[in-house]
Amino acid sequence: MKDSVLIVSGGMDSITMLYEYKDRIAIGLSFDYGSNHNAREIPFARMHCERLGIRHIVINLDFMHRYFKSSLLEGPDAIPEGHYADDNMKSTVVPFRNGIMLAIATGIAESNGLRHVMMANHGGDHTIYPDCRPDFVAAFGSATAAGTYEGITVEALYTGITKADIARRGHALGIDYGETWSCYKGGVRHCGRCGTCVERREALAEAGIKDNTVYDSPLTMPYE
């Protein structure tokens, strides 16, 4: 039974969840908030939703680009290079982004008679992104349940696993990760050196999966 809305960015994690739970997902919901890479990732979200026969909605959140402070909203040159573990990657946090998206997704769910909102955060997100941490997910889920007639829940089904674990699941489902987008710089190709590119490359390597992504940088890992 289709009972869920999935926040789907077009990246590895949400596309994997889209395929893994396709029998439950009624709506794939993407957000255009003016980031460097929205124009690159949203078409992948749309393509995969169409491929699976899942309704796809794009919500414009232009106010975030105009009023929020984040290197993710300031152009590709503002994006730091390096590993996600580095402190400089904190500049890519968009304040309370997931809270805003989850609130809208909850409204979409209730308006369409659905019971759950899915998000594809994973264990590696917790250090850098406060609104990906388990305590945030639990608190927000309590708020959605209390604030809706149907008691809508938030399901963050990858919270306890790694990106490599997700990659293994997606590989088993037949997903070509070359048809997803990660790079925060949002160029013609993945840069290969920003935090999301490094994380992507490490996850696929750890999972033993051939990386079909085209990178600007050499194929050797830049931050080993």
Residue 100 amino acid letter: I
Q: Is 16 buried (19+), middle (13-18) or exposed (0-12) by CB count in 10 A?
A: buried
Instruction: Summarize the annotated binding site as residue ranges.
Output: 8-18, 183, 191, 194, 197
Whether the Cβ atoms of residue 194 and residue 35 lie closer than 8 Å to each other: no
Whether the Cβ atoms of residue 19 and residue 170 lie closer than 8 Å to each other: yes
Q: What is the largest CA-CA distance in the chain?
A: 53
Whether the Cβ atoms of residue 156 and residue 119 lie closer than 8 Å to each other: yes
Instruction: Summarize the annotated binding site for Zn(2+) as residue ranges.
Output: 183, 191, 194, 197
Whether the Cβ atoms of residue 28 and residue 55 lie closer than 8 Å to each other: yes
Instruction: Summarize the annotated binding site for ATP as residue ranges.
Output: 8-18
Distance separating alpha carbons of residues 121 and 174, to the nearest angstrom: 21
First and final CA of the chain: distance in angstroms?
45
Residue 44 contacts by C-beta under 8 Å, 6 or more apart in sequence?
A: 10, 15, 179, 180, 181
